[in-house]
Amino acid sequence: MRNLLLTLRYDGTNFHGWQKQNNADSVQARVEDAFHSVSGKNENVLGCSRTDAGVHANMFCCNVRTDCNIPAEKIPDALNFYLPNSISVYSCREVGFDFHARYNAKGKEYVYLIYNGKYRNPFYENKALYYSYSLDVDLLNENAKDFVGVHDFSAFCSADSSVQDKVREIYECKAERDGDIVKITVKGNGFLYNMVRIMVGTLLDIQNGKIENGSIAQILESRDRSRAGVTVKPDGLYLNKVIY
């Protein structure tokens, strides 16, 4: 038996997230089916995160414990033969048998893309949030820095979450503009359900005046979900990097 670490990227538009489900298509199910086609083994592929429906990944890590003897360097090509074009494995290597893609991760980086042009761009459909109003990147950054540090993120978590401990550390939160694209990067040691999407929604609500400028610290302290902003669409969210 050996433990293989797979790294892949995917367009999540037509998937109900990573996690395998009974009545919906998922990335995990497609990867497990491809692995079975390659090796003849029914293996459980363990993911580093549970991405939501419609969320994308530039770097998603998963591991599989198997007695498949195909050389690691040949597995990406073998899997990609059976995977849809929306999923691509680009790395495979052997790791220690106790390694777990989720529990060994020390942090993650997410990117949220906003298409900030006057008119819709069909090439960013399902790949970025369309926001036609003016965006002040300096204002976004001024408020984004208040997310950095160790905080209780109860106000920035879906009410459906059953997680008890909502304390997380954010290492970096910033906004950058490249033409009509505004990119918001959030890096931290862990994330709650819908956390990044609510953080971005809060920054946009500050931009449009629905939430008071400079109030993120107070919203965090309140732990009150109703005081934070909207949960923006999943289209613009990418798991960008997993840190081990």
Residues annotated catalytic, as ranges: 52
Instruction: Dihedral sign for Cα 65, 67, 70, 72, please.
Output: positive
The CA distances from residue 21 to 3, 17, 24, 83, in Å, are: 24, 9, 6, 18
Q: How far apart are CA 170 and CA 219, in angstroms?
A: 16
Which residue, among 89, 67, 65, 68, has the nearest Cα to 77 in the 3D structure?
Answer: 89
Structure tokens at 47: 């993911």
Q: Are 104 and 244 in contact (CB under 8 A)?
A: yes
3-state secondary structure of 244: coil
Q: How far apart are CA 104 and CA 111, in angstroms?
A: 21
Q: What are phi and psi of 60, to 5 degrees?
A: -125, 130
Residues 6+ apart with CB under 8 A from 145: 173, 174
